[in-house]
Structure 1
Amino acid sequence: MSSMILITTLISFLAFGSHAADHSLSLEYYSSSCPTAQQIVRKEMECAITSEPRLAASILRLHFHDCFVQGCDGSVLLDDTFTLQGEKKASTNVNSIRGFSLVDRIKNKLESECPGVVSCADLLAIAARDAVVLVGGPYWHVPVGRKDSRTASNELATTNLPTSSQGLLTLITKFLYQGLSVTDMVALLGAHTIGLARCESFRDRIYGDFKATTVMDPLGETYLNKLKSVCPATEGTGGENTSAMDYLTPNLFDNSFYQILLRGEGLLNSDQEMYSSLFGIQTKKLVQKYAEDPVAFFQQFSDSMVKMGNITNQDSFETGEVRKNCRFINT
């Protein structure tokens, strides 16, 4: 069966399982109840990213990891309690997500200004947009009106979230399940133009097929040697060491991530698969397009972020709340 038939079959099968929907989200939701909400979030994000640029990627990743589990409902922010097992300690999250203290600070400011009005899920969606803008990326309008879930799912966090070692068809499956297209996937993974990855996420890649995909010129050799110095081959050593996923402009949101993929130098297997996989007929063309046209990338990324942000949890709209503290459900 050809790769195109495989992907087409996959899309047809999963189309019935997608659950992305827009349940009454609007741009004007807080216009009367908390008109300064977005300004409050923006101010706190500016202060945080000025002092620690890495937080831009952290907040963006938090929003992503929230939306892929139960929809964008703030469930990723919940701490474990005696009666609730949260998502933070799931294998896909435990060493991957951070930025919770910044969320706490923003929430405290919002509660001081507009008590009990702005949900943590909306806070995260707005903050993710501001994170991108503050490091040079595109602006988009964020529809709001989400409710915070009173539940979380460690199990869904483990199964729904993509991982760095997965192949292209598995990645496509996980995005399609959320109602996100192959185009959305390629654009959204462009978020890896900022942020760091841990050694244990790319060890197999650099000691595996990195040379097979890479243009092994002096630049490629130097890059691979640097990665190996950061991440030793022996399991259990250097696992906490990190490297930028975009070594060209690690703190700037631009399209150089895709240019790195064209050279075969993607740090994560899951990223490089979009260009190098035998099944990547459509994804390869999109990688080439975004590498050549930053405007096209920015436009699609903005559209796909809105689409991802509209993945909603029907239960949270019916039984959800606006948490006073993003770490715990209201008592």
Structure 2
Amino acid sequence: MRKLYFLVPGLGGKYACGGLWAELKTLKLAQQICSAEVVTYKQREPDTLFLTDLWTQPHLDQVIFVISWGFDVGKLAQQLQAYNVVYHAHSSGYGFDLPARVPIITVSRNTLGYWGQRSPHSLLYYLPNQISDNFSNVNIDRDIDVLVQARKSSAYLMQDLIPALQQVCTVEVVDSYVEDLSQLFNRAKVYLYDSAEYWAQQKVSEGFGLQPMEAMACGCQVFSSINGGLSDYLDPGFNCHKIAGYSLTFDVQRIQQVLQSGQVGNLPESVLAEYRTANILQRLQVILTEVNAFFDSQPQQQEAITPLTQLRITQLRWQNRWRKVKQRLS
């Protein structure tokens, strides 16, 4: 298999976020299948390749560049158009288009559907993010009634719901980086996550939403928004509860009822298996095999299928209208 270069802007600082950690996890999984290395292109890092330094290396046509940072993907795809490129898609809605020669690997079915519509002639694959085995219920006493992470939380959650809950139960708000979230999730009875407002402001989608699934894996009852990639696995009324359910009073009542019931979250391992390491590795092996075969065959391919551009869509609409007119006239 070709060597993979995972392109990220940097490895920390202002680039530190869930998307970066998820990408680096995917890199480590890929290293169990083939040669793979991280490459930065904005921030130089110690003992790490930098993109502009690669241009002097030979045989770059025998590697695959994996791009993922949504705001930079359009520019990177143009810069790397002479090479083999794969887009590892987390969020959707950035507005760029990609040529069909760039296979797209999505982290959620929600994003898969987005690219299935936007880029119908590209190779598309589904590779969910990994949920590490340390996210599991260790059956300890839960001393936190309600757990919230401030980042990405809505104004309603921070300014209305949390103050109301603090009057009736124990609430812990996390507003800094936590090394091991699994410990906090195992101490909490209820986890609140409301990111729809945040992503609406960013004008892109929730790519996957790791925290609600990690919390459920640890036995938390989850109240969450159901936007973007969260809709892949959250099922209100069955494995979670929809947050911001019409009114503040109704939210407080439902959360209190869950706390009083004493029930822990119950996400079957059969559901989690899709996101555990063994399944991710199996899927990644298949995907990389197909992607390598695609790049092997590219030199022999004839002209690509006509892309579904806005101009093409307009032409098809007018053709359909003219066909209907002719049918009526006949």
Band the TM-score falls in, shorter-chain normalisation: 0.3 to 0.5
Q: Which has the higher strand share?
A: 2
Q: Which has the higher helix share?
A: 1
The structure whose Rg is larger is 2
Q: TM-score, normalised by structure 1?
A: 0.32
Q: TM-score, normalised by structure 2?
A: 0.32
Relative contact order, higher structure (CA 8 A, sep 6+): 1
